[in-house]
Chains A and B, each alone.
Chain A
Amino acid sequence: MSKFVISATLLLGMALCASNPAQAVDAKQVFEFYCAQCHGLKGDGKGINVGPDFATDPRNFTIAKDMEKRTDADIEGVIKDGGHSISKSPLMPPWGATLSAEEVHGLVGYIRKLCQCKAK
């Protein structure tokens, strides 16, 4: 009986988590909505905004040897505080007041998928 109650409680909890949109961050959707305008839908740094006015190209997330040099905390920091915060291009905006912590965390994971790499 107690096993049944525990199992039922766990199942109910899982169902509630799955049905709560606030907890289900679709990192691909978040990336494509916010980041792809400059970093490109493939994350290759070739977004539609990139042109002659860009002093440097947006980061190409598919190059593993570049992305391995950055820790997850580095990536999270620049998403939140922008390029200015690390003396990089100010064209990378500070997204900290726009994105939730879950969305930023999800983006770090999605960027790691794009580079298929981890920090070294």
Chain B
Amino acid sequence: MRLSSITTFLVAVVLAATAGNSLAAGGNALFKKNCASCHYTDGPAKEKTIADQLAKKGPELWYAGSKFQKPWLLAWLQNPIPIRPMKYNSLTEKNTGDHPKLSAGDAAAVTDFLMALTSTEVKAGMLNAKASVMGRKIFIKDMPCSGCHAYAIRGEIHGGKSGPSLIGASKRLNPDWIYAYMANIKVFKPVRDMPDFSGALATNELQDVAAYVATF
């Protein structure tokens, strides 16, 4: 009886793992068919020049599993509310919110595929969201972060439009990725219109900013 229970359990585990793998494999195929014309997933970063960056139709996703939170990604793929005020790579055209929507099943498969794409640059479990006074001071006053990124204070929207909005970052972004991105931005995005702050801010300051942004 006991042996039978163990066997049943093991079979269930194997089936679950197989189902997970096949879902991710299905996600890979779905991604190639529907998403790969705008997003690339085979890192490391390919862009070497401004022209390379401008040729991209959407953000690179080769580190999506380190960047995003899974529940957010699953929901967003089914209801893709714009994150960027402006069309990708444009300073003149607004984001019309025309990102394709996926069905619940397809979104689950693509989410599994994307969440498996991680970067070794992101050390997991280092940071948590924290309303850091220093992080707030750097973000709003000392550094130009708010000049390009939208954020909200008590429901009031502030900030610029050229960068992705950080409103809802607490649900969207992994705090460890926010820090890693600022600390080693060239690895993730060699050519981008965001400055490299790794020399302007100390490690603890970058961590404070990352923890603060993760509260948005």
Contacts and interface: CB of A to CB of B under 8 A. Distances in A.
A93 B195 contact: yes
Interface string B116-143: 0000000000000000000000000111
Contact of A97 (B91, B141, B161, B198): B198
B114 interface: no
Contacts of B92: 41
Contact of A37 (B54, B160, B196, B199): B160
B200 interface: yes
A47 B146 contact: no
A98 B158 CA distance: 26
Greatest chain B CB density within 10 A among A47, A51, A53, A93 is at: A93
Contact of B86 (A48, A54, A94): A48
- What's the interface size class on A, roughly? 20 to 34
Contacts of B195: 93-95, 97-98
A112 to B, nearest CB: 21
B195 to A, nearest CB: 4
B142 A90 contact: yes
Interface residues of B, number: 27
Given A48-B86, A48-B91, A37 B193 contact: yes
B102 interface: no
A25 B45 CA distance: 22
Contacts of A47: 91, 162
Contact of A33 (B50, B142, B147, B200): B50
A21 B50 CA distance: 11
Given A53-B158, A97-B197, 10 more contacts: A26-B50, A29-B50, A30-B50, A33-B53, A37-B148, A49-B162, A54-B147, A94-B195, A96-B199, A97-B195
8 contacts: A26-B50, A33-B54, A37-B148, A49-B148, A53-B147, A90-B143, A93-B195, A97-B195
Interface of A: 21, 26, 29-30, 32-34, 36-38, 41, 47-49, 51, 53-54, 82-84, 90-98
